Structure 1
Amino acid sequence: MASNGTLRVELVAADRVVWSGEATQIAARTSEGDLGVLVDHAPVLSVLVPGVVTIHSEGEVVAAVVEEGFLSVAENRVSILSEDAFLVDELDPAAVKAELEQARADEDEAAVRRAEAKLRGTELA
């Protein structure tokens, strides 16, 4: 369990740990809607949809773009597991716009949703 009134957070993609640390607040988009998590939150398991996750940690806000996955909260531990995840400062806006254009040209709705989530993330950087 995290100490000093904080949450222990792990943001994990299929191939790496994207971010790990202590936080006071998390916000993520799930299939049921936007979810905010504070210290002592009730246990929950929810399905992530492509979107931006914000992690409030030590006076800074860490923002990451996630794809489909899961968010689990239990005993002040938050696990965010996504097929793919990027910190917003890792994204190249021009490459993301090109990815979105290609997804639209291919009429791939899932790829469009993922690219739109990345584009929202680049606006936060």
Structure 2
Amino acid sequence: MSTVHTEIVTPAGKIFSGEVHMVSVRAKSGELGILPHHIPLVAPLEIAQVRLKHEDEKIVDYAAVHGGFIQVSRDAITILSEAAEMKNDIDVERAKKAKEEAEHQLSTLHESSEGYPEALLKLKRANLRLDTAAIADPVAES
């Protein structure tokens, strides 16, 4: 089974760098599953989980990626995002607090209010962090 070098990079630095068998992401155009030797592409990403399946398919890493882009070449995959966290690096208490703050902001704003889109984005990011952190054991589904 072959692998492809994959990196997840933020302005703060690399949060993941390694060889994986498959990368699953949610692009703006839909779900993508990328294997080694995939055709080159560049695609904008949604705020969503990224799944990194290793050569031993029972080992899977998860990351919460807050948008950005994926760039695929024949021998490398790079995910560039303004913010991203690996599952084990997520501060659950901070994410819970951010969720509560966003929900409170949304409850006090009308959809046409100036701060509404930012509060909605904050809620989406907090929920992504919490959902990613809640993934049980990083083992591939059978």
> How far apart, in 2, do the equivalents of 1:33 and 1:118 lie?
20
Decide whether the 8 Å contact of 1:51 with 1:118 is kept in 2.
no
Match of 1:52 among 27, 49, 54: 49
Alignment-derived partner of residue 124 in structure 1:
135
Rg bigger for which structure? 2
Alignment-derived partner of residue 115 in structure 2:
none
Alignment-derived partner of residue 65 in structure 2:
66
Cα shift at 1:57: 2.0
Cα shift at 1:102: 0.8
Q: Write the deviation string for residues 17-52 of structure 1: whole angstroms up to 9, x where unpaired.
A: 001011110011111121110111111111111111
Q: 21-30 or 88-97: which moved more?
A: 88-97
Alignment-derived partner of residue 8 in structure 2:
11
Structure 1: tracts of 5 or more residues without a match: none
Decide whether the 8 Å contact of 1:11 with 1:81 is kept in 2.
yes
2:132 partner amino acid: G
Q: CA-atom RMSD, angstroms? A: 1.4
TM-score computed with the length of structure 1 as normaliser:
0.90
SS at match of 2:7: strand
SS at match of 1:5: coil
Question: Does structure 1 residue 113 correspond to structure 2 residue 124?
Answer: yes
Off by >2 Å, runs of 4+ in structure 1: 92-95
1:45 partner amino acid: V
Alignment of 1:34-45 (within 5 A): 34-45=31-42
Decide whether the 8 Å contact of 2:3 with 2:55 is kept in 1.
no
> How far apart, in 2, do the equivalents of 1:78 and 1:14 lie?
17
Decide whether the 8 Å contact of 2:2 with 2:55 is kept in 1.
no
Cα shift at 1:95: 2.3
Cα shift at 1:98: 1.5
Alignment-derived partner of residue 28 in structure 1:
25
How many residues get paired? 122
2:14 partner amino acid: V
Cα shift at 1:15: 0.6
TM-score computed with the length of structure 2 as normaliser:
0.80
> How far apart, in 2, do the equivalents of 1:42 and 1:111 lie?
34
